[in-house]
């Protein structure tokens, strides 16, 4: 009997160490072939657009997936190095049956991944991913029955420049305000934004200086980008009066974090508050509703409520935020990590470049600084601990962990929150605690983390 739990697809596609299963030369070819089978069943003339980030493994994985697709008759077009939302845009705007992205987003350069958008620009539902996954496993059981074609598509790099330009042109159409006075320091994370961000900011006449914009295949996210927002924040603080804000993208630029002019890091919660109030004031925030996640700070919920805006919480992962937005009719949603989804336009996924433009637009239109716009966001002290685990056993099946969580929640008594979950992409347990006092927050987080380490933790080597 086939398990109904996905084994390859996580919250953001298939991810792992490049060169190891499921990202070997054989398996990536068969993944492309399985996806191709899925597409040609409903469209014999299926075309796919494929894009990638700057990791040294991205090109060969893109080539292998492309070969698998063409082996079953799918026509493959490569956009080369492009952001994840760039591929989603191209899929929906140019009649492609699907868009495929080769990226591991914020992970180290040794990792990589494959994520798939359907022809409407949305990530595949879990049930569809499960069906493709079952076909992948069936192919893996008998790979010699699926010989590789003698000739595949053209190499995925450099790709078609016209496709990348089309995405940038669409982004510029989202700008309705003169941004030429905005002075921005931009951290490209040595990732996909390195290609698109300079062209976009020039097109919008934004005064921009770029950091971490020299990818070498191994420096993506290394001490820079959205995993390290203090990098751009410190650089802004070191040059007082020179920049209005800093912006930092992750490796595939589907999210963005910011720094105000004083060098304070501004996360996705603050961006949601800024955008929600602006959209509410313009009468375009449908249902006066915003979708955030279980990780968003209680302070955001309180600030939104004061502005007459309701906040719903979805599971972590931008695809789950989007699903809740579609259910509730909300047009704004996002994550603390900087994935922001604007559905008052044509966007179908988080887009760091679009988010940056929207923040700049609000600042330029109102004449207010970033710090001023979010000044009343009172953030509850929050900590997140990551614990490496041997296996992802459901927490409900481990009494010691359940007891530690219940004890923390009882002590908080409604004046804080506890969220314990597994990462969707790594062998990590994440413990998030919010409390009114930092000391209590740290103590409760340590208590739960210790219970997880004792029951499921990876033994420390000497």
Q: Mind telling me the catalytic residues?
A: 105
State yes or no: cis peptide before 272, omega within 30 of 0.
no
Q: In this structure, are residues 96 and 90 in contact, taking their beta carbons and an 8 Å threshold?
A: yes
The values of phi and psi at residue 227, to 5°, are -75, -20
End-to-end CA distance of the chain: 42
**β-sheet bridge partners, residue 209:** 185
Question: How many CB atoms are located within 10 Å of the residue 391 CB?
Answer: 7
The values of phi and psi at residue 221, to 5°, are 65, 10
Cα(111)–Cα(140) distance, rounded to whole angstroms? 21
Identify each DSSP E strand in 139-190 by its residue range. 183-187
- Residue appearing with tokens 């698998």: 68
What does the block give as tokens for 342?
A: 């604007």
Nearest to 46 by CA among 74, 72, 71, 66: 74
| Torsion angle of the four alpha carbons 112, 113, 114, 115, in this order, in degrees rounded to the nearest 10 | -130
Find the DSSP H helices in 150-259.
161-172, 193-203, 229-237
Cα(276)–Cα(287) distance, rounded to whole angstroms? 11
| Torsion angle of the four alpha carbons 341, 345, 346, 351, in this order, in degrees rounded to the nearest 10 | -30
- Residue appearing with tokens 């390290």: 228
- Residue appearing with tokens 């481990």: 398
DSSP string, 268-282: HHHHHHHHHHHHHHT
C-alpha distance from residue 382 to each of 80, 150, 262, 312, 431 (Å):
39, 55, 22, 19, 10
The values of phi and psi at residue 166, to 5°, are -60, -40
Residues 6+ away with beta carbon under 8 Å from 198: 208, 210, 213
C-alpha distance from residue 455 to each of 125, 349, 395 (Å):
33, 37, 10
């Amino acid at each position: 009997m086939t398990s109904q739990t996905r084994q390859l697809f996580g919250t953001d596609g298939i991810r792992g160490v490049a060169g190891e299963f499921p990202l070997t030369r054989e398996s990536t070819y068969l993944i492309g072939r399985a996806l191709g089978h899925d597409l040609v069943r409903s469209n014999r003339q299926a075309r796919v657009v494929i894009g990638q980030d700057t990791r040294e493994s991205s090109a060969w994985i893109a080539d292998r997936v492309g070969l698998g697709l063409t082996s079953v008759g799918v026509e493959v077009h490569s956009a080369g190095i492009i952001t994840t939302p760039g591929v989603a845009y191209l899929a929906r705007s140019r009649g492609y049956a699907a868009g495929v992205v080769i990226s591991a987003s914020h992970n180290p350069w040794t990792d990589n991944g494959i994520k798939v958008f359907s022809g409407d620009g949305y990530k595949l539902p879990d049930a569809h991913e499960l069906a493709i996954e079952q076909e992948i496993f069936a192919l893996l059981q008998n790979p010699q029955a699926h010989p590789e074609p003698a000739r595949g598509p053209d190499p995925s790099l450099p790709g078609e420049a016209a496709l990348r330009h089309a995405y940038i042109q669409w982004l510029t159409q989202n700008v309705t305000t003169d941004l030429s006075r905005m002075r921005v320091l931009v951290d490209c994370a040595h990732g996909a934004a390195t290609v698109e961000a300079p062209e976009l900011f020039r097109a919008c006449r934004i005064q921009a200086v770029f950091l971490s914009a020299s990818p070498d295949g191994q420096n993506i996210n290394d001490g820079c980008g959205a995993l390290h927002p203090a990098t751009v924040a410190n650089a802004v603080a070191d040059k007082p009066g020179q920049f209005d804000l800093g912006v930092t993208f992750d490796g595939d630029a589907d999210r963005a974090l910011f720094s105000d002019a004083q060098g304070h890091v501004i996360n996705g919660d603050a961006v949601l508050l800024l955008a929600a109030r602006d959209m509410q004031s313009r009468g375009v925030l449908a249902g006066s509703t915003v979708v955030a996640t279980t990780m968003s700070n209680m302070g955001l919920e309180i600030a939104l409520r004061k502005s007459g805006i309701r906040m719903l919480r979805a599971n972590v992962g931008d695809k789950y935020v989007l699903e809740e937005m579609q259910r509730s009719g909300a047009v704004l949603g996002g994550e603390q990590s900087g994935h922001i989804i604007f559905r008052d336009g044509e966007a179908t996924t988080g887009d760091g470049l679009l988010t940056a433009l929207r923040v700049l637009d609000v600042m330029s239109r109102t004449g207010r600084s970033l710090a001023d716009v979010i000044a009343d966001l009172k953030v509850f002290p929050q900590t997140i601990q990551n614990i490496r685990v041997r296996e992802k056993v459901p927490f409900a099946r481990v009494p010691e962990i359940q007891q530690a969580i219940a004890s923390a929640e009882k002590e908080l008594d409604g004046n804080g929150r506890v969220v314990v979950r597994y990462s969707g992409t790594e062998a990590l347990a994440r413990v998030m605690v919010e409390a009114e006092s930092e000391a209590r927050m740290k103590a409760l987080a340590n208590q739960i983390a210790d219970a997880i380490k004792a029951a499921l933790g990876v033994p420390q080597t000497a």
